[in-house]
């Protein structure tokens, strides 16, 4: 992995650009991404497949900034989208329709029409109702929709309950048994081509085992359907590979994961599609914040920074842990405090970190929250009428603004 964020001469840098300078130029809070890390992570997946037919469809939801989509498109990435908005972004960024897969439980007829007009590769269909609507829309527009049913392989995953998706009790996908029936229905529908099978069992999985178990079940289904004469060509196993948030967490290697996949699918005559999001962008980004105040309530220390739950909601929503990187490198003898790091939003749930041992910081000091490139800026909101943060992409020593900080006028632009 290239050095995305590192201390050089005692100061934290993004690649070789000092974060102090970025904060000064673009203000805080601010998301800062390393281009080298994104490209490296994409290539780890892509190159591991070698000559085996495959497509790495980046899950746009993880971070949908146009500049980031554009650099992935230039690397040859495909895209996994879940809305008309994401389709719009990908096309604007130069993504090729023939490399787009459309997931999600609630595609509207309007979104389906736009996707059919654009000529996307396939729809990952999540219910019988959706299959019916898709067939109707395709017939009306005289288009052919390539379809993969998203099946629910019923594999348990060890992750936060809010990001686990592969069990019966979740809203996603259709049961295996139901899927077989729906495939035979799909095969007889005009305008529908039963072109693949798909699944996605959850996110932030640090172990390959559940992913490979789901793959086994999906592969068995694909082979049964092929044998029954359906034109199944794509085996789409979703995203889900995790990243280390805490020091000491393991870092599952995409290339090793792909090797396991290939060992199973070799000879099956299927093109493999993966939909990684987090494992491409999480480690490429930090949320850069500045300390506003320090206070104590009784014996409890609080550090109040200018970034808040509206900028990074993962700690509040999933009890997520993001490492804190002080901008000034800490030496071991330095005094520390144990503090909650909180934002200015008026909610008890507005915290970025709890009970952390950090060096004694003063108002004006900069702190970066690590591993914030995935599901960070995209989950940002305007809660408490806070303008959304700026985003900056670093390449070597160059830092480029890829999303302007919102202005106060932006906050009320669509209101009367
Ligand atoms: N494909 C589908 C159909 C998905 O639903 C997802 C993520 C992905 C691919 C990409 O998964 P990844 O490789 O990123 O694990 N906001 C949560 C994560 C939600 C994931 C939703 N689906 C978080 O911050 O942890």
Which domains occur in the chain, in start order?
Answer: 5-33+282-411 (2.40.37.10), 104-274 (3.20.20.10)
Q: In this predicted structure, what is the pLDDT of residue 69?
A: 98
Q: Which atom of ligand 1 is nearest to the CA of 314?
A: 24
Closest atom of ligand 1 to CA, residue 203: 15
pLDDT above 70: percentage of residues in the chain: 98
Q: Is 204 in the pocket of ligand 1 (CB under 6 A)?
A: yes
pTM for this prediction: 0.97
CB 45 within 8 A of CB 25: no
Ligand 1, atom nearest to 276 Cα: 13
How high does pLDDT run on average in the chain? Answer: 96
For atom 19 of ligand 1, which residue has the closest CA? Answer: 163
Residue 394 has pLDDT above 90, yes or no: yes
Mutate which of 41, 42, 44, 59 for ligand 1? The one with the most ligand atoms within 8 Å of its CB, which is: 59
For residue 167, how far is its CA from the centre of ligand 1 (angstroms)?
15
Q: Is ligand 1 within 6 A of the CB of residue 59?
A: yes
**Ligand 1 centroid, distance to 386 Cα (angstroms):** 26
Catalytic residue at 63? no
Query: In whole angstroms, what is the distance from residue 181 CA to residue 353 CA?
Result: 48
Question: Ligand 1 centroid vs 332 CA: distance in angstroms?
Answer: 37
Residue 162 above 70 pLDDT? Answer: no
**pLDDT score of 400:** 98
Three-class SS string for 185-232? HHHCCCCEEEEEEECCCECCECCCHHHHHHHHHHHHHHHHHHHCCCCC
Residue 173 CB–ligand 1 contact under 6 Å: no
Distance CA(152)–CA(11), nearest Å, equals: 47
């Amino acid at each position: 992995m290239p050095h995305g964020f590192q201390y050089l001469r005692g100061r934290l840098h993004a690649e070789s650009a000092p974060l102090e300078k970025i904060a000064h130029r673009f203000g805080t809070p601010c998301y800062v991404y390393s281009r080298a890390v994104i490209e490296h992570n994409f290539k780890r997946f892509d190159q591991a497949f070698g000559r085996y037919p495959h497509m790495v469809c980046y899950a746009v939801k993880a971070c949908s900034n146009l500049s980031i989509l554009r650099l992935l498109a230039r690397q040859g990435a495909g895209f996994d989208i879940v809305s008309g908005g994401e389709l719009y972004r990908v096309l604007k960024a130069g993504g090729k329709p023939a490399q787009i897969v459309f997931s999600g439980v609630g595609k509207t007829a309007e979104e389906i029409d736009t996707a059919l007009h654009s000529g996307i590769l396939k729809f990952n269909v999540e219910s019988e109702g959706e299959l019916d609507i898709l067939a109707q829309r395709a017939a009306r527009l005289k288009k052919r929709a390539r379809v993969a049913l998203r099946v629910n392989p019923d594999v348990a995953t060890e992750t936060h309950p809010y990001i686990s998706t592969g069990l019966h009790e979740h809203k996603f996908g259709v049961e295996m048994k139901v899927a077989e029936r729906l495939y035979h229905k799909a095969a007889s529908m005009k305008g529908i081509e039963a072109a693949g099978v798909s699944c996605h069992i959850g996110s932030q999985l640090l172990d390959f085992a559940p992913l490979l178990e789901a793959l086994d079940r999906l592969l068995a289904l694909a082979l049964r359907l092929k044998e029954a004469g359906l034109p199944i060509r794509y085996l789409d196993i979703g995203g889900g590979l995790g990243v280390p948030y805490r020091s000491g967490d393991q870092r599952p290697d995409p290339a090793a994961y792909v090797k396991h996949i290939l060992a199973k699918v070799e000879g099956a005559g299927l093109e493999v599609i993966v939909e990684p999001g987090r494992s491409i962008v999480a480690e490429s980004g930090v949320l850069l914040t500045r300390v506003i105040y320090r206070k104590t309530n009784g014996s409890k220390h609080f550090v109040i920074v200018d970034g808040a739950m509206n900028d990074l909601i993962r700690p509040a929503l999933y009890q997520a842990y993001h490492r804190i990187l002080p901008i000034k490198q800490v030496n071991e003898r330095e005094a520390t405090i144990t503090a909650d790091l909180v934002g200015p939003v008026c909610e008890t749930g507005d915290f970025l970190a709890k009970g952390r041992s950090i060096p004694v910081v003063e108002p004006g000091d900069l702190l970066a929250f690590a591993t914030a490139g995935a599901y960070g800026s995209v989950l940002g909101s305007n809660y408490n009428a806070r303008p959304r943060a700026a985003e900056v992409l670093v390449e070597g020593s160059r830092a480029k603004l890829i999303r302007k900080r919102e202005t106060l006028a932006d906050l009320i632009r669509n209101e009367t």
